[in-house]
Amino acid sequence: MSNINLLPWRDDYKKKKKTQFFVTLLLTACVVLGLSYAGKMYVDILTAAQEQRNEYLQTQTLVLDRRIAEISQIKKEKAELQKRIRVIQQLEEKRNYATHLFNDLVDVVPAGIYLNNIGFSNEKVDVIGMSESNNRLAKMVRNIDSSGWLGDANVSSIVAGPVKPIKLSKFIMTFSVIPEIKGDKQ
């Protein structure tokens, strides 16, 4: 008789507890599913926001790449223009070389030296002339070397020339125009 349940309230209590357990389990499962779904939605929102930021960065990177390409093109054009400007400046500086050379020749050539031919090309001057004495020619070489604008004087030949009306020697010399050092005359 020990198996007889005289108190039916225990079965009712067990059924209630079992029902309560399943209801709690179902509610807990629903809450967990809801939280999981909410977490997934939150992560999706964060992912979408990050993707938007990435897209913005990519578009800005493209814009910057285009600007960099434009800047490099502008730098090339600038370099070409600077090169042209330098060429023009060099031509401008060389424009008055002949005038400056003739002005300096007056100071450099001493009395007793007669110039017959002067050639000027590539900052080199070739002179053919006559001299009354070698001392005057040496003075001319010293004057050229000390002028500051002319230099590197080199006499390549001295030969006897006409003796009438005075005795002269023919000479050929070369010297350079030194553009880096500008003289006082311009």
Do residues 174 and 154 lie in contact, with contact meaning Cβ atoms separated by under 8 Å? yes
Rounded to whole angstroms, how far apart are CA atoms 91 and 158? 35
Mean pLDDT over 44-73 rounds to 96
The Cα–Cα gap between 72 and 125 comes to 43
Contact 169, 134 (CB under 8 A): yes
Each residue's pLDDT tens digit, 118-134: 888 877 889 999 998 88
Whether this prediction's pTM lies above 0.75 is answered by no
Q: Residues of the chain with pLDDT > 70: what percent?
A: 92
Whose tokens are 């003289």? That residue is 183
Spatial distance between the Cα atoms of 174 and 155, rounded to a whole number of angstroms? 6
∠ CA 53-57-59, rounded to 5°: 115
- The token duo for 51 is 């993707």
- Residue 179 has a pLDDT of 65
The per-residue pLDDT of the chain, averaged, comes to 86
